[in-house]
A and B are shown apart, each in its own frame.
Chain A
């Protein structure tokens, strides 16, 4: 399973749901893995896979730990971080299940934690993180 390809598809879905630019030439608001400060929007988020041991990692269903880090001035950063968090919830405000994205099915969003501020950088931008696990398989 190509986890980078999955992360890209997942970020594209979030970008669509939250109206966040994913590719240039406009300033990019949602990145994967890493970001380029010059090409980043005033408020930008980065989705990363981190090495949480998979709770469920059979051949068919993979589980990844994902962190979405959002950087920007407080009001905008909190709004974007909350929008990204809420994109993982269904109409009943429960974590989504059977969520179809391009090329994959996310069977469950697990351990979804709301955004929290972890730092403020030298430009006085807040850094917020949201953590979650995604159990998914190829469509």
Chain B
């Protein structure tokens, strides 16, 4: 029997491409879910202009939370979750622990500081398991 080395390398490259694409997809799915968790607890200012906490941009911070599609640099898959790219008070809301986000009439009664960090810490232990399961399913043809 004989086989062309080029055929083997081609097959390996094909597998490598599939694994990388699957890894990107899995990580992207994870960070989309993470961004959703962040939005769940993101403070939101009132919509009523007469409310003392009204700042005129209700929901802008929550709307700024997003994740980037995963990319691969070397052997590492990157996807970023962030907030505030267009909201200059984001870090103040995120970092100051004593701000009152659950004031009477708050649009988001679950709001809190550390609205990015805490979901990230909570979900981090499940990251590898989630990605492994998603990739297994994907590569087995489940396409999940």
Contact = CB atoms under 8 A, between A and B. Distances in A.
A48 B96 contact: no
A5 B113 CA distance: 24
B144 to A, nearest CB: 27
B97 A53 contact: no
A48 B92 contact: no
B117 interface: yes
Interface in B74-132: 91-92, 94-98, 112-114, 117-118, 121-122, 124-125
Contact of B95 (A52, A55, A65, A129): A129
Interface in A95-139: 116, 118-119, 127, 129, 131
A80 interface: no
Contact of A55 (B96, B97, B112, B121): B121
**Which secondary structure dominates where chain B touches chain A?**
helix
Nearest to B124: A55
Contact of B92 (A55, A65, A118): A118
Describe A's contact surface by its main secondary structure. Answer: strand
Contacts of A34: 98
B121 A127 contact: no
B95 A67 contact: yes
Interface in A8-62: 34, 48, 50-53, 55
Contact of B113 (A50, A53, A116): A50
A126 B112 CA distance: 22
B96 A127 contact: yes
Interface in A61-80: 65, 67, 69
A119 B124 CA distance: 28
A65 B117 CA distance: 11
Nearest to A67: B97
A69 B122 CA distance: 23
A81 to B, nearest CB: 13
A51 B114 contact: yes
A55 B118 CA distance: 11
A119 B121 CA distance: 24
B97 A52 contact: no
Contact of B91 (A53, A65, A118): A118
Interface of B: 91-92, 94-98, 112-114, 117-118, 121-122, 124-125
Interface of A: 34, 48, 50-53, 55, 65, 67, 69, 116, 118-119, 127, 129, 131
17 contacts: A34-B98, A48-B97, A51-B112, A52-B118, A55-B121, A55-B125, A65-B121, A67-B95, A69-B97, A118-B91, A118-B94, A118-B95, A118-B96, A119-B91, A119-B92, A129-B95, A129-B96
